[in-house]
């Protein structure tokens, strides 16, 4: 390792720690507001962890009877238990732990870069990009799954890449177990083992050394990991499922955005429309029975998406693009900064509805009046820095895609596409977090290529020296 590489790694660690400390300390807003209240999911994870720690039940209810939780999955609440059980500043302890996980992520991505045969300088640049990411730093100060999930995905990809190179079954098994843990951290990963299996089936025809049973390992190992949770849900609720998260998102965002765009109404009105249809179709049903409640709402939501397939495709595409171009989650940033939110909710989904109709100016006006015009100095600084960083990341990623060193990285486009397409029209930068470490690898390759192409300063030759007076 050269002195330049060491310096870049030291700078990366220093930048990573500094950015996260600044995100935690600034501005002068209570730490609980920043860590828990900024994103509504955090309060739910906290309730689950507290109940696990003190009542030994997985439920968000604060008093008996504790109804079984079907929406959230157990890995992140289990991660929170030690911090909820201690008599100290729980939020600060979790932020410190997630800062350490962020540093571990930097090490994992450096290992992945080197094992992908990138040179050491490119690997060091990737770690610097990763450490400086405002989006990842911001999310590491929140009690949400992104930090743990991103690290798990990075470890999964590292081990899967080792299997690609060495064909050691052990590496594939551990990678598959990680994919199962990903599902139990965020259910969006439910089909990711199938992505790995699909790649291995394709790989089977190109590499005769791969065994016939290798493509089955990701699905089988992931199934072993998640099966106890599925059985638990089935025994408690009658539905053998991993989570109702897919049904939640289908109803609350995908279908609601399509209806809102089609009828020119807001998201709340679109959801009310589907609730009325569900009541007419299924009769009155108990909203406390979450297993049946979300199943029936999802049936209605799915029918609306099938009714307007072209519009649904437009909504999905705009959500996919937003996952890349959104620099940071604006609403959590406002709460983090101590800014009172305007009354208008679901601004991004409303803007998507306008964009599907070609009303670009109206969408921009909505974003400005309901969000951007309310930002304070701190929020504006973070937004501008995040925008510049994201622009650099995308530009160098694009360049990196067309360079020779990135050929060995192209398989990483599978998780990039998977985890950005499936998020739908939520449109928050936090849902880009899991694949941001992959993006920095392509960006590091692109930046290295640009630097290499720059004209080098010509050193004076001995002939030039001898000719001088």
Judge whether 164 and 125 are in contact, CB under 8 Å.
no
Distance from the Cα of residue 92 to its chain's centroid: 22
CA distance 241 to 261: 31
469 — pLDDT class (breaks 50, 70, 90):
very low
CA distance 363 to 360: 5
Tokens 């192409």, residue located: 453
Judge whether 255 and 307 are in contact, CB under 8 Å.
no
> Residue 468: pLDDT above 70?
no
Among 288, 282, 312, 319, which Cα is nearest to 300's?
282
> Counting beta carbons within 10 angstroms of the beta carbon of residue 32, is it exposed (0 to 12), middle (13 to 18) or buried (19 or more)?
middle
Angle between helices 40-54 and 75-85 (to 10 degrees): 70
Mean pLDDT of 176-197: 98
63 — pLDDT class (breaks 50, 70, 90):
confident
CA distance 176 to 193: 7
Neighbours of 243 (CB within 10 A): 23
Q: What pLDDT, in 10s, does the model give residues 153-185?
A: 999 999 999 999 999 999 999 999 999 999 999
Q: What pLDDT, in 10s, does the model give residues 312-338?
A: 999 999 999 999 999 999 999 999 999
Tokens of 68: 């079984």
72 — pLDDT class (breaks 50, 70, 90):
very high
Torsions phi, psi of 79, nearest 5? -60, -35
What mean pLDDT value characterizes the chain? 93
462 — pLDDT class (breaks 50, 70, 90):
low
454 — pLDDT class (breaks 50, 70, 90):
confident
Q: What pLDDT, in 10s, does the model give residues 254-305?
A: 999 999 999 999 999 999 999 999 999 998 777 788 889 999 999 999 999 9
- Residue 163 carries which DSSP code? H
pLDDT at 106: 96
Neighbours of 294 (CB within 10 A): 25
CA distance 25 to 344: 29
């Amino acid at each position: 390792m050269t002195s330049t590489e060491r310096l870049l790694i030291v700078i990366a660690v220093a930048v990573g720690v500094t950015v996260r400390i600044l995100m935690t300390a600034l501005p002068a807003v209570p730490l609980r507001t920043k860590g828990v209240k900024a994103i509504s999911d955090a309060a739910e994870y906290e309730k689950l962890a507290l109940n696990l720690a003190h009542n030994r039940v997985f439920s968000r209810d604060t008093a008996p009877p504790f109804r079984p939780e079907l929406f959230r999955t157990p890995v992140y609440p289990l991660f929170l238990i030690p911090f909820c059980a201690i008599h100290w500043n729980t939020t600060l302890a979790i932020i410190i732990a997630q800062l350490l996980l962020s540093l571990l992520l930097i090490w994992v991505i450096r290992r992945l870069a080197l094992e992908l045969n990138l040179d050491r300088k490119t690997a060091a640049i990737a770690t610097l990009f990763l450490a400086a990411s405002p989006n990842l730093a911001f999310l590491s100060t929140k009690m949400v799954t992104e930090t743990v999930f991103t690290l798990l995905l990075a470890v999964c990809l590292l081990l899967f890449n080792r299997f690609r190179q060495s064909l050691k079954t052990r590496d594939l098994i551990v990678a598959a177990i990680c994919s199962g843990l990903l599902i139990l951290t965020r259910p969006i990963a439910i089909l990711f083992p199938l992505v790995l299996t699909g790649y291995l089936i394709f790989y089977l025809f190109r590499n005769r050394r791969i065994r016939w049973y290798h493509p089955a390992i990701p699905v089988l190992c992931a199934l072993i990991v998640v099966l106890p949770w599925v059985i638990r849900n089935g025994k408690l609720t009658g539905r053998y499922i991993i989570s109702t998260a897919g049904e939640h998102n289908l109803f609350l965002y995908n279908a609601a955005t399509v209806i809102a765009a089609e009828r020119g109404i807001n998201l709340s009105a679109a959801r009310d429309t589907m609730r009325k249809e569900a009541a007419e179709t299924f009769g009155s049903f108990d909203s406390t029975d979450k297993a049946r409640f979300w199943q029936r709402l999802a049936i209605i939501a799915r029918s609306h998406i099938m009714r307007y397939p072209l519009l649904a495709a437009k909504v999905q595409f705009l959500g996919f693009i937003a996952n890349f171009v959104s620099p940071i989650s604006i609403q959590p940033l406002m709460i983090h900064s101590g800014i009172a939110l305007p009354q208008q909710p679901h601004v991004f989904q409303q803007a998507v509805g306008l964009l599907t109709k070609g009303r670009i100016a109206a969408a921009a006006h909505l974003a400005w009046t309901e969000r951007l015009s309310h930002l304070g100095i701190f929020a504006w600084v973070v937004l501008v820095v995040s925008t510049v960083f994201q622009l650099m990341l995308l530009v160098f990623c694009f360049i990196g895609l067309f360079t020779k060193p990135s050929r060995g990285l192209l398989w990483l486009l599978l998780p990039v596409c998977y985890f950005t397409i499936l998020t739908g029209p939520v449109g928050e930068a936090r849902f880009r977090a899991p694949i941001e470490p992959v993006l920095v690898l392509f960006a590091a390759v692109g930046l290295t290529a640009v630097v290499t192409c720059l004209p080098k300063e010509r050193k004076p030759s001995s002939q030039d020296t001898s000719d001088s007076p």
